[in-house]
Structure 1
Amino acid sequence: MEMTVERLKERVKAGRGLVPAHKVIKGGQLVNVMSAEIYPADIAIYNEMIAAVGDVSAYIGKDTEIIDAKGRFLVPGMIDGHIHSECSKLSITSYAKAVVPRGTTSMVSGLDEYISVSGLEGLREVLEEMKKSPLKVFWGAPFKTPYTIPESTVTYNFTKDTHKEVQKWDECYGVWETVREFVQEEDEDTLGAIATAYNNRLPVFGCAPMARGNDLNGYLCGGVRLDHESYDHEEVVEKMRKGMHMLIRESSVTHFLAENIKAVTEVNPYFARRVSFCTDDVTATDVLSKGHLDNVVRLAMKAGVDAMTAIQMATINSAEAYRIDHLVGSICPGRIADILFVDSLENFNIEEVMTNGKMVAKNHKLSYELKAPERSPILKGKLKCKLTGKEDFEYKAPVESGKVRVLSMDVKGPFVRKRRDVVLEVKEGIVQPDTVQDVLMVSVLERFGKNGNKALAFASGWKLKKGAMASSAAPDDNNLVVMGANAEDMSIAANYLIEQGGGQVVVCDGEIKEFLPLPVGGIVTDLEPEEVAAREKRIDQAARDLGSDLPDPMMYMFFLPITAIPDYAITDAGPVDYVNLRCFDPILEVLK
């Protein structure tokens, strides 16, 4: 909300108790993350603002609503410091239904997946949607789109000129997920975004997995403030000693907390005040079964962090890292009234949630009906691909028959793929996938109607024995990704998603086994979180029925186009060697 002199006068009067509070929370134990104290205190709330904390009897008028906290702990609303909510396959509205009842009241996001499929017009619609949600989104303008080297295809290219416009928007709180390689390679759009942010006094958010030594020094000299991606605690320690705020990531597929928290529990407890949490990529299934940031707080306590410190990591630390602590992150006068009612600090079970001064959730459910907006044609899913045939998923060899040695991208985690050399047979000029050796075909199809790019490569680690699966949700460019043991099923999977306007599908022997529609931009849905979770489970089971033993076969597959982590990836531009920042030919050698 825009600040005016009149509004400021009203706020000051409310803070002084010259006008009655609209609500007062009584009988709770305040968890004061500013002073690291816990003590009895009441809270006066005026509109969406905390007006006073402590003895607030002078703030109570005849119409003031009294909320009985019943001895429960009053904790600030938690902040997810880095999240692609789109990877949950839930729209902003549906995502809020899942995470707000678990205590996440704010998130920092680039909403970049929406931008990749719908440009600034779609982004404006999502920003309007979030204003009607109980979940606050502190938006960081993506440093550029796409994030890929070499550049893949998206519907909208975010450039340094875009930054000159959008950094002036009220919704913009910084530059989002600035990937290290773009800084050190002196990419003009990236450096232009950072320079504009410097002049606008906006922070720059980072993405620097495995950055150490001189490369890290150069990255920091580029003006990056924080990072959310470290693969071991030694990396966390080096980054923190060099002045970075660090976010520890605990996502549905990357469980980094147990390792990275050692920087605090084993190396230096004073690091704790500059460590915060993020989930990055979560599924509806995990949020509903385990929780969200409440689960991360519990994991941190289990790892040896005391309750107050863990709560600070989920609240004020993140707010300070992103320079939004004047708005959120603590229960203090002048801040937004985002308050959690927690049964005990040991269990950290969030019983009720207040956001923006309103009680919105109880017993892990929203307490009112929240509806998604009517979707415009800009955000309605449409895949502008031509229908495929099986020949689109057959890798042509330079010989009619024989054998070739190929490079197969071998998955070692959701984002890490290593080189695996495999000998495959060639029949009638086609390289044959080999399920015995665990080598599948994987393809990315450009789906925005720009150039019709089609990339094809080999992948290992999924262990599919038959069938195929496909997804039109595939960060960071959200082109159509297809993987399979045979070309016929790959074509059927791709065509089904093209015809349906986006989603995720598993196919076997020409039959659609499971399908999750994603009609909003081809990447998310307005379905209830419970329905999405049920379909996620069925999709995963269908993939396991094909032979996969990965924790989340579909999610591991749709991360294949992410090039920001060495060594290998695939985009519509082709299979990518991210160590050397170039596309490569998967056929290494024709064998005699």
Structure 2
Amino acid sequence: MTTLAELENYIDAGAAKIAADIVIENGTLVNVDTAEYYAANVAIYRDRIVAVDADVSDYVNADTKHIDATGKYIVPGMIDGHIHVECSKLSLTRFSQAVVPHGTTSIVSGLDEYISVVGLDGLTEVFDELATLPMKVIWGLPYKTPYTIPESTVAYNVTGDDHDEYQALEQTYGVWETVREAIQTKDEDTLRAILAAQKYHKPIFGCSPMATGKDLNQFLMGGVHIDHESYSHEEFLEKARKGLRVVIRESSVTKFLAENIRAITENTANVARHTSFCTDDVNAHDILTHGHLDHMVKLAIKAGVSPMTAIQMATINGAEAYHVDNQVGSVAPGKQADVLLVDDPTNFNVETVISKGEIVTVAGEEQMSLMPPKRSASILDTVHHSPLTADDFAYHVADDAKQAVVQTINSVGPFVRKRLDVTLPVIEGVVQPSVADDVALASVIERYGVNGNHARGFISGWSIKRGAIATTMAPDDNNLVVAGVNTQDMALAANTLIACGGGQAVVVDGQVISLLELPIAGINTDMAPSELAQKELDLKEAARQLGSQLPDPLFYLSFLPITSIPDLALTDGGNVDCPNLKYFDPILSLEK
């Protein structure tokens, strides 16, 4: 929070009574407010822009640092409009290290994966870390936790009482990830969250995949202002026409930019001014290989969007959508000093980054060193479960059964799961997986020491032929998720993660062939981004030894408990019929 004395200094700096710390000279400004390009110089005092003019010489003294932008374009820092930053598996420090050099200086996040593990009190440590980083987090308190319907188990349940307290705070920018089902069922905590945010004029961030017509109308009656999930350009366009600030998602596994952008390139270009970008879930390898929001800008331009429009979608549009355009989103006096120098708007190669007034990179070279903080025991010791046996993963039925007709959760895409009924053999009262029919076993195990829940089910579409995989990074509950065709390997994978405090593992024939330890809340690591990227490749390669042909089996596994993905999910509470918001028994019938 800015103090009175600090505000007085900023005002004096704007009048050139206090010299600027940094001036950027001889560049071409990309003015996203007026959609213009023109010559300009920028003066920065502390963490604020104080002047954007043809001449800033009055703002300079002997101590002012000069950055020559000759031949370069001056662009606002970019804003990721919706990201579960923890799903990168990078700690906040390491994530900042990975994305800020690509020009992402602000992210919108609920930090909900941390909340599920350490609760709201545990966020104090998280916010302390963020305060040291050259990256702004626009934080929305999750509408509630857990997100699942029926409710699964997490370490902390966010309620309406929390919103009554937190929506009044400066650090809270609205309500995060409000799913359509919570409004549809008129969940009391969700409605209280909405009312608390509206009391303080803060936006409701929405999530309504495949919502159209009356379903969308009902959702909008909950006061939702922003939505980041559209599976088609028709759905995207309808949402925009009905007043939503729409966000195009391009994650590591859900790539919707090419489809959603058609609402702009094939329908009405004016939709673009209400469109912003997000990555939602992105991994270290993709960031280092392709970039972050800079990659989305390039993809949009390649799809036919003008460079100015694409840059607006990455900057000012998101700032306006989240009601933070008074702070970020453009290069203008009074805004946070988030400034990029790019080679030109069409190629959009980010060369120099200033974020929060700190010079992060110059001509691609790092100028500041980021070191993770010391971690407390409360955020490192979060997996609480006794060792498991192979029999814990077996699906037991009647001893005299010979066959079982089961309803599997069939993956037909990263965010689409459908019903597939398969007949499986039963041996001594245990339903067997079937490599021939592409059916594996799956378990979700509560790992917080709350109730000991262990739900079992069947998955298909994974082509797993041997072994097992496991993860404790599994939004949005981050329980222990295990899949495989060998129960002994499943137990080894689970016990390996229990022993190391969380992570991801691949096991084949009694051997752990790949392990990524995630000691921070069981979901993140302070490993360098490049090292983590290599680990991700190792895990993928190991998963291929199981026979799986999925693009990223560990990512698919981590999504298995998400109940907002149509049509089926598996949580620690049981197998979930997502459209009907209820549990189902995967055993349809038994034959003797």
Q: TM-score, normalised by structure 1?
A: 0.98
1:197 and 1:204 in contact (8 A); partners too: yes
1:211-249 Cα shifts (integer Å, max 9, x gaps): 111121111111110100000000011111110000000
The aligned residue for residue 408 of structure 2 is 408
Equivalent-residue separation in structure 2 for 1:209 and 1:264 (angstroms)? 19
1:393-429 Cα shifts (integer Å, max 9, x gaps): 1111234341111111011222211000111011111
1:503 and 1:515 in contact (8 A); partners too: yes
Equivalent-residue separation in structure 1 for 2:518 and 2:586 (angstroms)? 32
Equivalent-residue separation in structure 2 for 1:285 and 1:365 (angstroms)? 20
Equivalent-residue separation in structure 1 for 2:571 and 2:175 (angstroms)? 24
Match runs of 1:458-469 below 5 Å? 458-469=458-469
SS at match of 2:526: coil
The aligned residue for residue 6 of structure 2 is 7
Equivalent-residue separation in structure 1 for 2:191 and 2:18 (angstroms)? 49
SS at match of 1:41: strand
SS at match of 2:121: helix
The aligned residue for residue 180 of structure 1 is 180
Alpha-carbon shift at residue 4 of structure 1 (Å): 3.1
The aligned residue for residue 18 of structure 2 is 19
The aligned residue for residue 337 of structure 2 is 337
2:359 and 2:368 in contact (8 A); partners too: no
Is 1:191 the counterpart of 2:188? The answer is no
The aligned residue for residue 85 of structure 1 is 85
Q: Provide closer, same or farther for how the CA distance between residues 366 and 474 of structure 1 changes in structure 2, counting only shifts above 3 A.
A: farther
1:381 and 1:502 in contact (8 A); partners too: no
Amino acid at match of 2:121: E
1:121 and 1:378 in contact (8 A); partners too: no
Alpha-carbon shift at residue 163 of structure 1 (Å): 1.0
The aligned residue for residue 50 of structure 1 is 49
Equivalent-residue separation in structure 1 for 2:320 and 2:220 (angstroms)? 18
The aligned residue for residue 432 of structure 2 is 432
Match runs of 1:343-358 below 5 Å? 343-358=343-358
The aligned residue for residue 509 of structure 2 is 509
The aligned residue for residue 122 of structure 1 is 122
2:77 and 2:103 in contact (8 A); partners too: yes
Runs of at least 5 residues in structure 2 that lack an aligned partner in the other structure: none
Q: Provide closer, same or farther for how the CA distance between residues 362 and 557 of structure 1 changes in structure 2, counting only shifts above 3 A.
A: farther
Q: When the two structures are aligned, how many residues end up with a matched partner?
A: 591
Match runs of 1:158-557 below 5 Å? 158-362=158-362, 366-557=366-557
1:65-91 Cα shifts (integer Å, max 9, x gaps): 211112211110000000001111001
1:380 and 1:520 in contact (8 A); partners too: yes
1:400 and 1:430 in contact (8 A); partners too: no
Alpha-carbon shift at residue 365 of structure 1 (Å): 5.9
Equivalent-residue separation in structure 2 for 1:68 and 1:191 (angstroms)? 52
Q: TM-score, normalised by structure 2?
A: 0.98
1:303-327 Cα shifts (integer Å, max 9, x gaps): 1101000000000000000000011
1:544-591 Cα shifts (integer Å, max 9, x gaps): 111111111100111000001220000000010011111111011123
Equivalent-residue separation in structure 1 for 2:28 and 2:145 (angstroms)? 46
Alpha-carbon shift at residue 7 of structure 1 (Å): 2.3
Alpha-carbon shift at residue 45 of structure 1 (Å): 0.9
SS at match of 1:27: strand
1:101 and 1:362 in contact (8 A); partners too: no
Alpha-carbon shift at residue 15 of structure 1 (Å): 1.2
SS at match of 2:140: strand
Equivalent-residue separation in structure 2 for 1:382 and 1:320 (angstroms)? 37
Amino acid at match of 1:224: V
1:174 and 1:202 in contact (8 A); partners too: yes
1:517-553 Cα shifts (integer Å, max 9, x gaps): 0000000001100110000000000001111111111
2:469 and 2:493 in contact (8 A); partners too: yes
1:313-362 Cα shifts (integer Å, max 9, x gaps): 00000000000001100000100110111112222111111011121124
Answer with 24-33 or 50-59: which moved more. 50-59
Alpha-carbon shift at residue 439 of structure 1 (Å): 0.3
SS at match of 1:299: helix
Amino acid at match of 1:96: S
Answer with 59-68 or 30-39: which moved more. 59-68
2:111 and 2:139 in contact (8 A); partners too: yes
Alpha-carbon shift at residue 124 of structure 1 (Å): 1.4
Q: Provide closer, same or farther for how the CA distance between residues 181 and 317 of structure 1 changes in structure 2, counting only shifts above 3 A.
A: same
1:415 and 1:560 in contact (8 A); partners too: no
Percent pairwise identity: 55
SS at match of 1:265: helix
Runs of at least 5 residues in structure 1 that lack an aligned partner in the other structure: none
Equivalent-residue separation in structure 1 for 2:58 and 2:146 (angstroms)? 55
Cα RMSD of the aligned pairs, angstroms, is: 1.1
1:102 and 1:364 in contact (8 A); partners too: no
Equivalent-residue separation in structure 2 for 1:248 and 1:544 (angstroms)? 31
2:117 and 2:382 in contact (8 A); partners too: no
Amino acid at match of 2:45: Y
Equivalent-residue separation in structure 1 for 2:539 and 2:122 (angstroms)? 28
Match runs of 1:68-79 below 5 Å? 68-79=68-79
2:116 and 2:476 in contact (8 A); partners too: yes
Amino acid at match of 1:41: A
SS at match of 1:67: strand
2:25 and 2:67 in contact (8 A); partners too: yes
Q: Provide closer, same or farther for how the CA distance between residues 71 and 204 of structure 1 changes in structure 2, counting only shifts above 3 A.
A: same
